[in-house]
Structure 1
């Protein structure tokens, strides 16, 4: 009820502002007001030829530079306010999810492609910063909705976002803009266009943004998530003859600040069961063995602001069981972490989504360069050859606290450890209860930091032959080639990992009887685990004391395409398009090596199950190849109607394609030591077949523009991922999508305008769709329980409840039960399935009087029961999106005063395919206001604006982390209220 009342209040405020604009107009309007009331037309190149947006038989939203400025759309992330059925969120690692009509990028893999093609001046960019940098000297932005399988081709199953910069003109012009705002925001832009003679011109633009952080780190008492970025663009134009035109563009973007990749991390604490069936679970560390860390509760409950059950973490459990530092004065064993200790017990987070608590502030660095050369040559008066060459380079480095909350002091003070004779034998491990991690430094608490790093290079070449005939027939024929190389590295550093590597696998006893460590080098005999000795910003990348997912991908794609445009009648046109695409992806898999070691000769040993003590070796390349035939057929009709000035009605059938890829490699474990649950190493391409009908109308002598469409998608092999075994496991599903869209602009007078868009979306996964929900592996089946495995196995498993009870009721004691419960998840031969080649003793399951092989006897090899997804909604697909904007202009002598308000509303949605209460994202709204005062003669514009008037912090998306980190949830939210004043001088 409170939410409904708030929405009504906001709608009432927006309506009141609109009414005020309308009723106050006569009092302030001046006689100098112009008489033109026609809605502005925009020329677009959605079909790679210049056309009025109203003449293009495609659902396309085009925003001019003026429209972007009036709506305060400063970057790609804010386009959702102007385009129906669009959602946007940052992703967990280095990219983002821009979704159109439910089709976006929910597949997280270095080899995955975005489903919405992002283009810069018609050049597709696989990796880009167009959703992080701010718009600079932009001509327009076009958003094409629906598959664009002919002219734009691969990776356009959802649509296309195309940003067009202003190119040089043969006219001297320029501008300077300065802006001041809250959060100590300082922004500036400048542009200068200089013609040199009659055939050559250059244009330069520069923009920067600096501001303090939007978020507060209460532990360090610092502001984080700030901005320090700039963009430079240089372009040149050369037209030596009437038949030849050329332009060159270089754009450089750079950022160096503490931008946060993700927001707060939430968790509904799972304390673990106190009873399994009819058996009590009395010990806290045994309960932790049956805890998954976090429960799948609503992200909007108070309980979600807790922390995971830290006692359930594999490293905590391992260090709590050994190696022993010695004993206390009562001869009780002392371990590096007390047995059963929960480092997060009692930790409660602030309810403020803009407040975190961490000892490590984020680090964010990005550099992006785009070079583009465009050539046009008129072979005849009716035939033009186009060439477009582009090279793009993108480097990215972002690090932040993995958890964004602080643990309790965790480590045992190794200064006060005794031997069995009562003599003090201090250890070098954790003196004073402090462990010094080589990457993260000294701390008495758990430290965990991640690092997302990428290096990308792209070449693109396109040739296109286009006609301008006058006999009712035209065509566009082309071919292109793309070569993209990338290396993505994702690291997780944790001081528990280093502590285990040094004092569990590489430990040695000191002369005084205490516990120490030895380095793992080529001369060290036996098995050991290499620890990188370098600080975080100088790592050598070879350490096995941290998690590293190294992904090297080489994508090559070529295509030939063509479209024809037939005027069947003066008012009836048939468009046909066809494209053949061939993709090749070569992936070099590098298995992760967290806490894996080997003997000096590279042989595996029972302790870890690894094959290398240092470095990351490559497995054989995975070579994939796909070919696809895509295209479209469109019939559009421009009838003469008595009630419209201009009408276009169209019906289209189109098909889009997006390539598949490889799932990141898991650990390469010796199956005789650790038995892994099977997972697919690749995922399939996806295809969208779309049927759409639409109409574009101009009415009331140009005062009203009204566009509407309806669409239906047959979606095959939709790609979506979740974290399994520390990798992004991508799966494929079929789905159906249908929806409606409405866009309108109404200018009843030269001074007043209303614009609005409305989108309705219905998405449904196909009947029979099934997947394992890592948050609910048993699916409520009382005969099975979820278990934590041994540390070498990252993912949780399920096991029969009766076997778990048998272990808990055994005479071997609770501590041995911990190992036996781990054995039910396979695990190692020491703690799991018996391997006579390595171990001649009885395995645990024979100790307890039963034989059990989870790979054969448990659902999905012990991974869990399938959840039925039939009819579930696709992630990030709200049923309703809507925006309404109104502006009024008063003409006051030489000055124009314009007041504008924009209200956006998005309905409920889900961030995962399982559609549980845990997955639900509440609907949210956003109100922006602006005032602009302009003197066109002097070239002066003064703007003041407020974004996010109500200072809301809705959860716009979320991401579920891995089992071994407790299934915590990273959430994403909007920027807070922003108030700024901007002054622009044009010349």
Structure 2
């Protein structure tokens, strides 16, 4: 169901609110003394400084759609991980399932494959974090977080099409101070974090911070004797700041992070699609099927892991030792800031990162306890990157011109070992003959069918060893000219060169050895013919189950032990240089003559562009297929207003973005009929939207936050292959241009209110947060969208709301804080992924967001 809120309606609403501000009588506010403690409760908003244009400037003077949250605001709202920003920042969708997903304005990355660059850049103290696995950082010792919406194609280290998240840490200083934070919550959650700052000499300062988080999880799986969706995280931050001279400042950072936790638990909902390749599309028989005219084992496997059958927060995903997510990260960075003169400064930013990702299931396509069709990263993924950036920041003509220019370079290496597993399959002899002729088989007339045959339709084991080497070079320049005291013109340009080198080795199953084992088993199988063994019995004997019993998981690695072919099925090496120039221009105007109640008003217009590198995608036995670069052009207008003695801040943006070659995940087949989930390009798409943010203190101590977004997503050109016909070697084009964008809701709304009450025993601050998201589509293929239009619950999430409550107490000295919280207070169940796949597996694999969580926190300053 589509929402009726539109950018035009938001424009009218924003205009009415702005007009009300401009026409209302002025009212002033002053700080009000507390009744007893002598403390003062602020009645005006603090100025927010951002670095969205790589220089410190006021949020209200920056012609960019950016949200900034200070460390204090993160504490007030109880945000402990950047994933929670999805509740309150417009047009931002963040979920954590098998992969970390960050979307801004409908654009994001739906997998954590190392070969795919993120569409949203995440930066920790100006160091770009290239892989999605490490993006959902805990907010440990953070000074502020900035979220930039829209393409970042000029200034930031990596050219991105969706936006950027910039985390800035608290810096060492000339004081001895620190804090300790502890929390306890339900589901066995406990966390300890802290920081300590100390001067070492008059010019050298040190700061150390740590974080430990343990959570038992909430999704019970009796088949694994485990509770999934658990958390186990430790991290350490060490910083040194050296004031080398009055003009040279050197900052160094060491970050160590370790993750050891269970993946989110999941349900499976069967999708009724008669054309599904692995269901009734080809009338395949699976282990447990005994009726050729009505194969049900695949659908039953999914249903055995459904909420309807198991109840709330319970799953049946089967024994699997690859549900443990392990990630070790080491990051070393240094920044040198040198003031060369009163009008010119230079900054050098260098970083080195090493990361190891442990073996992990990447996709459970069948959705149930059986290993019918699944994907794994079966070995450690080794990743390393090195980056260096040179920035020059300066002014000319008595400050009328401000410029930022520089160079950026990064080298990255990644290895991935990817394994696709499938069950052996059975076919009625008549069905096999139809498929061999390129025709869709008809339903067998009787449960016994004709003659059973069992064997390899797709490789039971397909190993892909993938090595990548990426190099990025870029040069950028952005200049702002204050044509008058009110009018600013900004022009920017960036040249980006991305070099991609990929090596792939694909190893498959020894089909002859499989057929020979079936023939010599004594279970009634005849000799193999073209990969299939006739079974001299009936379907009532479950011949596919008998065949699979000959290949048990003897070594306990979660994979059936099929013999591997001696020679690789395919080796492939490719390299390509992708090059792009991305310009931008903006115009902003600061009004000078304003009503008494308006403190500042800026309007701006921006034209910008962004680029995301192409890459090579492993397509099963077909080797490496090239995915073209993704490009975006953004046209945006907006305004930023402060009023009522800076007690109100109201910002809006309206944008129209055109995408070319949008990189989307789809389901396809290789020439051996192996199902592959791969990235491909959609020809073109368009996004039109509006966003607003309001921060208001109507009275001393009271704070109201409001945000909303509405996006109209549409594909202009999106073609695909009919999967069933592809499996029959009959390529057939289908038009998917009328589909809904995946993962991102069209409408979001958030409202928060808190009130600080000073009493004889301290400062009490109750807070309520409400967030709303409209329908979300999670489908991957054409059939899933058809199902979604019939019933969104079968391939997506209907609109939902979440309410959070918080009560904070702070003592009179301000050094002790105790808070109690309830997140998802109404215990709402809502999906956060993973995917609905109708044309192949006919399953909707679903992961829930957190249920009701409650706990208590203590923070002590010293």
TM-score with structure 1 length normalisation? Answer: 0.69
Could you tell me which residue of structure 2 aligns to residue 266 of structure 1?
269
Q: Deviations over 1:629-685 (max 9, x none)?
A: 11311111111212410111111110111111122131259xxxxxxxxxx921211
How far does residue 82 in structure 1 lie from its aligned partner after superposition?
Answer: 2.2
Give the alignment partner of residue 315 of structure 2, picking from 356, 367, 378. Answer: 356
How far does residue 921 in structure 1 lie from its aligned partner after superposition?
Answer: 2.8
Could you tell me which residue of structure 1 aligns to residue 806 of structure 2?
930
Question: What does residue range 315-330 of structure 1 map to in structure 2 within 5 Å?
Answer: 316=287
Distance 1:463 1:127 in 2: 22
How far does residue 128 in structure 1 lie from its aligned partner after superposition?
Answer: 5.0
Q: Deviations over 1:877-916 (max 9, x none)?
A: 3221010000001111362111101000011132247543
Distance 1:594 1:668, change over 3 A: farther
How far does residue 447 in structure 1 lie from its aligned partner after superposition?
Answer: 10
Query: Is 2:756 aligned against 1:889?
Result: yes
Query: Is 2:621 aligned against 1:667?
Result: yes
Distance 1:471 1:448 in 2: 60
Give the alignment partner of residue 455 of structure 1, picking from 370, 378, 382. Answer: 382
Could you tell me which residue of structure 2 aligns to residue 105 of structure 1?
109
Distance 1:696 1:496 in 2: 62
Give the alignment partner of residue 633 of structure 2, picking from 689, 694, 699. Answer: 689
Give the alignment partner of residue 728 of structure 1, picking from 658, 668, 677. Answer: 677
Give the alignment partner of residue 573 of structure 2, picking from 617, 621, 630. Answer: 621
Give the alignment partner of residue 38 of structure 1, picking from 24, 44, 53. Answer: 44
Could you tell me which residue of structure 2 aligns to residue 656 of structure 1?
610
Distance 1:50 1:269, change over 3 A: same
Could you tell me which residue of structure 2 aligns to residue 941 of structure 1?
817
Distance 2:408 2:603 in 1: 32
Query: Is 2:393 aligned against 1:389?
Result: no
Distance 1:614 1:468 in 2: 65
Distance 2:737 2:343 in 1: 54
Distance 1:129 1:447, change over 3 A: closer
Contact preservation (8 Å) 1:32, 1:891: no
Output the aligned Cα RMSD.
Answer: 3.5
Distance 2:613 2:763 in 1: 51
How far does residue 946 in structure 1 lie from its aligned partner after superposition?
Answer: 0.8
How far does residue 265 in structure 1 lie from its aligned partner after superposition?
Answer: 2.7
Contact preservation (8 Å) 1:590, 1:619: yes
Distance 1:761 1:866 in 2: 26
Matched position secondary structure for 1:621: strand
Distance 1:657 1:107, change over 3 A: farther
Moved over 6 A (4+): 337-341, 445-449, 609-612
Once structures 1 and 2 are overlaid, which stretch shifts more, 732-741 or 359-368? 359-368
Could you tell me which residue of structure 2 aligns to residue 873 of structure 1?
740
Give the alignment partner of residue 401 of structure 2, picking from 467, 473, 476. Answer: 473
Query: Is 2:834 aligned against 1:958?
Result: yes
Q: Deviations over 1:468-512 (max 9, x none)?
A: 453311211100101111112232456769xxxxxxxxxxxxxxx
Matched position secondary structure for 2:697: strand
Matched position secondary structure for 1:903: strand
Question: What does residue range 484-883 of structure 1 map to in structure 2 within 5 Å?
Answer: 484-493=412-421, 546-596=461-511, 607=530, 613-614=565-566, 616=568, 619-640=571-592, 641-642=594-595, 643-667=597-621, 681-725=625-669, 726-729=675-678, 730-766=680-716, 768-772=717-721, 777=722, 796-797=724-725, 854-855=729-730, 861=731, 864-870=732-738, 872-883=739-750
Q: Deviations over 1:129-173 (max 9, x none)?
A: 544442111111100011111101644211101111112111111
Could you tell me which residue of structure 2 aligns to residue 519 of structure 1?
none
Could you tell me which residue of structure 2 aligns to residue 136 of structure 1?
140
How far does residue 698 in structure 1 lie from its aligned partner after superposition?
Answer: 0.8
Contact preservation (8 Å) 1:80, 1:88: yes
Distance 1:345 1:199 in 2: 68
Contact preservation (8 Å) 2:509, 2:564: no
Contact preservation (8 Å) 1:205, 1:233: yes
How far does residue 45 in structure 1 lie from its aligned partner after superposition?
Answer: 1.0
Could you tell me which residue of structure 2 aligns to residue 903 of structure 1?
770
Q: Deviations over 1:779-821 (max 9, x none)?
A: xxxxxxxxxxxxxxxx6437xxxxxxxxxxxxxxxxxxxxxxx
Q: Deviations over 1:229-260 (max 9, x none)?
A: 11111111111211111011011110223233
Distance 1:490 1:578 in 2: 39
How far does residue 357 in structure 1 lie from its aligned partner after superposition?
Answer: 1.1
Contact preservation (8 Å) 2:108, 2:162: yes
Distance 2:564 2:319 in 1: 31
Contact preservation (8 Å) 2:682, 2:718: no
Distance 1:924 1:594, change over 3 A: farther
Once structures 1 and 2 are overlaid, which stretch shifts more, 370-379 or 151-160? 151-160
Distance 1:668 1:758, change over 3 A: closer
Matched position secondary structure for 1:663: strand
Distance 1:545 1:876 in 2: 31
Distance 2:271 2:617 in 1: 29
Query: Is 2:148 aligned against 1:163?
Result: no
Matched position secondary structure for 2:45: coil
Distance 1:597 1:663, change over 3 A: farther
Matched position secondary structure for 2:386: strand
Matched position secondary structure for 1:748: coil
Matched position secondary structure for 1:67: helix
Query: Is 2:861 aligned against 1:986?
Result: yes
Distance 1:57 1:718 in 2: 26
Contact preservation (8 Å) 1:217, 1:358: yes
Contact preservation (8 Å) 1:154, 1:656: no
Matched position secondary structure for 2:86: helix
How far does residue 222 in structure 1 lie from its aligned partner after superposition?
Answer: 3.7
Equivalent residues, number? 736
Distance 1:898 1:797, change over 3 A: same
Could you tell me which residue of structure 2 aligns to residue 969 of structure 1?
844
Query: Is 2:64 aligned against 1:58?
Result: yes
Contact preservation (8 Å) 1:663, 1:683: yes
Distance 1:592 1:910, change over 3 A: farther
Distance 1:152 1:291 in 2: 44
Matched position secondary structure for 2:108: coil
Query: Is 2:298 aligned against 1:292?
Result: no
Distance 2:228 2:402 in 1: 55
